[in-house]
A = this chain, B = another copy of it.
Amino acid sequence: MAKPKKQPRPKAVTPKGFRDYFGQEVSQRTEMLRTIADVYHRYGFDALESSAVETVEALGKFLPDVDRPNEGVFAWQEFDDGGNGDWMALRYDLTAPLARVYAQHRNDLPTPYRRYAMGPVWRNEKPGPGRYRQFYQCDADTVGTASMAADAEICAMLSDTLETVGIPRGDYLVRVNNRKVLNGVLEAMGLGEDVAARDNVLRTIDKFDKVGEAGVRELLTKGRLDASGAFIDGVGLSDDQAEPVIAFLTSKAADTAGTLANLRAAVGDSKIGVDGIAELEQIGSLLDAGGYGADRIEIDPSVVRGLGYYTGPVYEAELTFEIFDEKGRKRQFGSVSGGGRYDDLVKRFTGQEVPATGVSIGVDRLLAALREKGRIAAQATGPVVVTVMDRDRMADYQAMVAELRNAGIRAEVYLGNPKNFGNQLKYADKRNSPIAVIEGGDEKANGIVQIKDLILGAKIAESATLEEWKERPSQFEVPRGELVAKVREILDSQD
């Protein structure tokens, strides 16, 4: 191969739609994942880390297209001389890999198999503001059991998880619905086999959150003018036909028994509908027995998200407190987690139906919620910075940081060019350091060190009068031997 020409300098940028995470963005997420893993583990779930790369064949959803095999995923062809290498792709979620893992290892895995998984997934989609092509998922699934106890358990675990990471009871609600009840409603409407009409009704139900009861009624029947003045065609049902859907969506009553009674009316004598209601009833009574009341988990037929995808119970966790959006309007924080039952997970691989149910938590949204509520710090505290007054005495400064670290205090020595002392303090400021330690030649000769409380110093500089300034010094002179004790005292006072 000819030698390549001299290239221009490469651009130092992430690819479009990707980003880097710095400092406590990383630490706080790691800490949250650990907390969640602890809860999952206590529930008997085992960790699984599947490979980030799968064959396109195993991922399944995105079958190879000769012209553009990477629709939706990042995919490439394994090199082989004949150009017939396998297509591989980055996983787009943690559920498709679970199906492959369970099919591959089912003889070695316990049945039922409870597993959790946490890690990045990748989507080859057009990036947008706040919309990245790599993001974290955090899933828990139980594979190999049709028992409603598995669904109830995951709802309880979701509730425990939210409280454990710092969302107090009352600030969230886990809501449960069931796809089978909806299927019963469709049967009661006489749409049991009419696939096109069913799809139209499902799409309309998905708009319930936005357009409400009256809107859904219009969309199911004669159509509707939307906010922009455009006319949206209706599905063309009669008012009578539309009634069971409305009854279903608005069936939530003051208590579970009331809700279930309303649902029974909505599904009439549809067998699948009756089955679905029985499932919700089982889930409700199992949760009651575990002490999970309606202040934490409730049956709510207005949960419509995911109803199209799942085959049985669906569940969703919402944060119910209000925040201000980017336009300053109050709104509920909204959903941070969703899941449900999907019973054809492994069938693609083995031909056998394997029932499964699982949940996914949006870790980044949950972190945003905790920041919003002031429950985790928006800014990290940096290390204590030991400044360098005399570059020949670096060993002295290293000894100081070693002492501080051995006492469990985060500390570092300034490693830049020490000539300009101002730069050292600017560095400490950029690091958000709580304390700077100073030992010049005079201090060394007198066996003392200067300790600067940078947090107090900044506060005084902002607002103090001259009197206060004199009364509350932010710099302390202590014997060298008291370095660690004084630093700890100041750190404690800053909390």
Contacts and interface: CB of A to CB of B under 8 A. Distances in A.
A415 B12 contact: no
Interface stretch (A105-113, A366-374, A476-484): A105-113
Interface string A99-138: 1110111000011101000001010100000000110000
Interface in A360-398: 382-383, 394-396, 398
Contacts of A24: 47
B289 A399 contact: yes
Tell me if A's interface is mostly helix, strand, loop or mixed. mixed
A168 interface: no
List the number of copies, as a whole number: 2
Interface string A61-86: 00101001010001110110000001
A63 B430 contact: no
B14 A54 contact: yes
B12 A412 contact: no
A89 to B, nearest CB: 9
Given A1-B65, A10-B58, A349-B9, A398 B49 contact: no
A286 B65 contact: no
A398 B286 contact: yes
Nearest to A157: B405
Interface residues of A, number: 108
B11 A27 contact: no
Given A41-B410, A88-B15, A291-B402, A149 B51 contact: no
A206 to B, nearest CB: 27
A383 B46 CA distance: 10
Given A76-B76, A112-B416, A408-B42, A9 B286 contact: no
A55 B10 CA distance: 10
Interface in A1-55: 1, 4, 7, 9-16, 18-27, 30, 34, 37, 41-44, 46-55
A37 B29 CA distance: 13
B60 A48 contact: no
A427 interface: yes
A153 interface: yes
Of A348, A382, A416, the most chain B CB neighbours within 10 A belong to A416
A152 interface: yes
A394 to B, nearest CB: 5
Nearest to A10: B57
A406 to B, nearest CB: 9
B20 A47 contact: no
Given A7-B63, A41-B27, A394-B147, A75 B78 contact: no
B104 A410 contact: no
B289 A396 contact: yes
B55 A13 contact: yes
Contacts of A383: 44
Contacts of A152: 398
Interface string A264-297: 0000000000000000000001101111000000
